[in-house]
A = this chain, B = another copy of it.
Amino acid sequence: MKADALRGHLDPMILAVVEHEPLHGYAIMEALLERSGGELDLPTGTLYPALRRLERAGYLASEWSTVGGRKRRTYQLTSAGQKMLATGKSEWDAFRAVVEGVLRPRGASGQA
């Protein structure tokens, strides 16, 4: 998958992954990989800054813990994050409709 394609779509995807259960960064990476059927393999240089961005924006809240000697920073969705996720989903639907309307127009005046 091309890198640019993700632009602006990654944030809601991350929020969606922690919607029902808080997860730490590494687990979020694995969840994205699994939900995408192995397609979405984020580099750490993408994920961790994104998580900090989302926390700074108030959509995620984090908490440190130690499990088996390893430090984890666990993120959970805030209420603002829930709203943002809902917004993101409907924005995705709108975006998808736009792209498909252009890529595969049907009906009235689109076709030559």
Residues of A that sit less than 8 Å from B by CB: 1-9, 12-13, 16-17, 19-21, 31-32, 34-37, 39-40, 88-89, 91-92, 94-99, 101-105, 109-112
Q: B1 touching A98 by the CB < 8 A rule? A: yes
**Copies per complex?**
2
State the main secondary structure of chain A at its contact with B: helix
Structural contact, A36 and B101, CB atoms closer than 8 A: yes
Complex formed: what's the CA distance from A82 to B109 in Å? 21
From B1, B19, B102, give the contact of A94 (CB < 8 A). Answer: B1
Q: Which residues of B contact A40 (CB under 8 A)?
A: 98, 102
- Are B5 and A102 touching (Cβ within 8 A)? no
